[in-house]
Amino acid sequence: YQPAPLSEKALPDTFVVQISVLYKAPVIYEIVSGNEKEYFFINSSTGIVRTKKNLTVEDFPIIFNVRATDSSHAGIFNEVSVKVEVIDENDFPPVFPSSLVEATLKENLSATPIVQLKAQDNDTGSNGLLTYGILNGGGLKFRIDEATGTLYSTAPFDYEEEPTEYQVVVYAEDHGIPEKKRGYCTVVIKIID
């Protein structure tokens, strides 16, 4: 997992990533290594990782490991690594109102708009103009309008045959000179029957 980079100004309890495994029985999630400075905590039943305290940019990137264990058989488990990067902020990067947006999409719809994401940048001139894009997630199943921030599906989904939840990391990039800045938002899309 490589979630959207965090701002060094991220407050405690900021959403980082949701770890999810496809498994028939309930699982217990835990961070097993790499979190020695205790920047993160995980909800043992949902797999949602959040910040525990203020971040020190010099300590990042950090890679930690999460274990998902079968709740009734401790010997059955799987581990994944999570790489978290922190942005050293200076002027004004684009900012989304929320770092996590949840949306639903009905199955069997042809290409359709899902949600419009709108970031703000307090810079003026070209430093405040924004272009939207997809950083990762969802493969080719989603696209974004670079000008409006509207996220679209590119094809129908089948609730019975495909995953029922997708995480797409979207960015807004300013036209900053000499350096472009980005803001990030994770969109969790649930496919509904």
pTM: 0.58
> What pLDDT digit, counting tens, does each position of 119-173 carry?
999 877 777 899 999 999 877 899 999 999 999 999 999 888 888 999 999 999 9
pLDDT at 90 over 70: no
Nearest by Cα to 64 from 43, 95, 85: 85
Predicted confidence at residue 88, as pLDDT, reads: 63
- The CATH number given to whatever domain includes residue 182 is 2.60.40.60
Residue 92 lies in a domain: no
- The pLDDT mean for the chain works out to 92
> What pLDDT digit, counting tens, does each position of 102-123 carry?
999 999 998 899 999 999 998 7
3-class state of residue 182 by DSSP:
strand
Same domain, yes or no: 104 and 187: yes
Query: Could you tell me the end-to-end alpha-carbon distance of the chain, in angstroms, rounded to an integer?
Result: 27
Distance CA 161, CA 158 (A): 5
- For residues 191 and 107, the answer to whether their CB atoms sit within 8 Å is yes
For 118, the domain range is 100-192
